[in-house]
Every structure is written in structure tokens, then in C-alpha cells.
Amino acid sequence: MKKLIITVDGPAASGKGTISKHIKKKFNFYHLDSGLLYRIVTKEIVTKKINFKNNKDLQIFLKKLKKISLKNQSGLRTLTMSKLTSKIAKFKKIRDFINFNQKKIVREKLKKFKGIVIDGRDIGSVVFKNAQIKFYIKTNPKIRAKRRYKELIDRGEKSIYDSVLKEIKLRDYKDKNRINSPLVIPKDAVIIDNSKTIKTTKKLVDSFILQKIS
């Protein structure tokens, strides 16, 4: 079987991660969460107090960073980090750096795995335009906020549903309206509505993949 690249794009908290983890497990693929890379770089910027709006400072920072370490993942999913990541993700220099790293990771992992599933915002539309299977996940914003709110509470974090909904809508706006790689539905993507149960979504996704690879 030819090595397979599956892209899963969609707005914040649409369930991309859950769906991608499911594909990884079911088909024994490698899973790359591109949002995580944006969050890791953002955390580095915050920790090192980099003035990311200054072109020169950003350039020096990225040159020193060289590659993204997937090791320390604590404190990446707070509301503040999510907001900040979305602000930082609009810079072309950041996106080029992350895309370069993503492609390198994918090349390496495809030596070992028969397929890779990558989730994000621009994976099927920009980064891996040649992917054999592209999914776009759409989910009602209120359902997304409810799920994200529960996730934060379960993790023991303080959370207010209205703030979560507001943050999700703001992030949608920012991700869809930026100049560099805005969130769009790739023209050859299969649109999956994940507003019902995850079981329904998994069935849909599985049947599509199985039909494609058989």
C-alpha cells in the first residue's frame, strides 16, 4: 500500500484531535498535532519574552530555536495560551518555520509508519495539498464550547462557559480572517459534521478511509 497522508482541518475545539487520535489507533498511523507545534513555539516566545511583533527579534529567535521539541507540553492548553497562540500564528515567519518542521517530521515518520494523520487549520489547503484524504470538521460553536468547557473542568481548571464560547468565536474569527493561511475548507475535502456523537463521526470517517484504501 502507498504511504498515506490524511489531513484533518477545522476550527477550534471541533474534535479534530479526537478524530485524528482515533485514526492513529485504528490504522496504526503516526499522529501529528500541528496546533501543538504552534502552542509550543508560543510558549517559548512567552518564556523568553520575545517581542514577536519585531521582525528582527522574531528572526533571531527562530534561528536560535532551530527545531521544535515535542517534550515539555505542560500549560499549553489554557485559555490564555490559546488566545496568544492564535495571535502569534498569523506571522508568516512563524508559519514558515513550523511548516518546515512539520514536513521534516512527516518525512521521518513515514519511514517507519504506513501513514500519517495531521490535524490543524491549513494542513489540507496549504501544507500537504497533495494528501490523499482530506477531512474538514465542522461543529456547531455552542457544542464546541460545551465540550471544551467540560474538558477544562475535568482537568481541574477554572472555567466559565460563556468565556469559553467567546474565546472560541474570537479564535474562529482570527483563524478565518488572517492573511497568511486562513482556515478554509480545502476544495477536495470531505466535510464531516461532528455535532452529533463521536461514535457517529468515527463510523463516517472509518468508512470513508476504508473505501479509499481498499
Q: What angle do CA 191, 8, 94 make, to 5 degrees?
A: 130
135 belongs to the binding site for ligand C5P (CB under 6 A): no
- DSSP per-residue codes, 104-117: HHHHHHHHH-SEEE
Which of 7, 20, 86, 201 contacts ligand C5P by CB under 6 A? 86
The residue from 4, 22, 24, 85 that contacts ligand C5P (CB under 6 A) is 85
Helices 198-213/16-27 angle, 10° precision: 50
Candidates 11, 1, 4; CA nearest to 31 is: 4
Cβ count within 10 A of residue 94: 22
Pick one of 4, 6, 8, 12: the residue that binds ligand C5P (CB under 6 A).
12
- Per the DSSP assignment, residues forming a β-bridge with 135 are 8, 190
Closer Cβ to ligand C5P, 113 or 172, answer by number: 172
Nearer to ligand C5P, 24 or 121 (CB): 121
* Cβ-based nearer residue to ligand C5P, 34 or 101: 34
For residues 3 and 174, which CB has a smaller minimum distance to ligand C5P in the complex? Answer: 174
- Please tell me whether residue 89 binds ligand C5P under the rule CB under 6 A: yes
Q: Does 97 bind ligand C5P (CB under 6 A)?
A: no
Distance CA 214, CA 41 (A): 39
Which residues here bind ligand C5P, judged by CB under 6 A? 12, 34-35, 38-39, 85-86, 89, 120-123, 171, 175
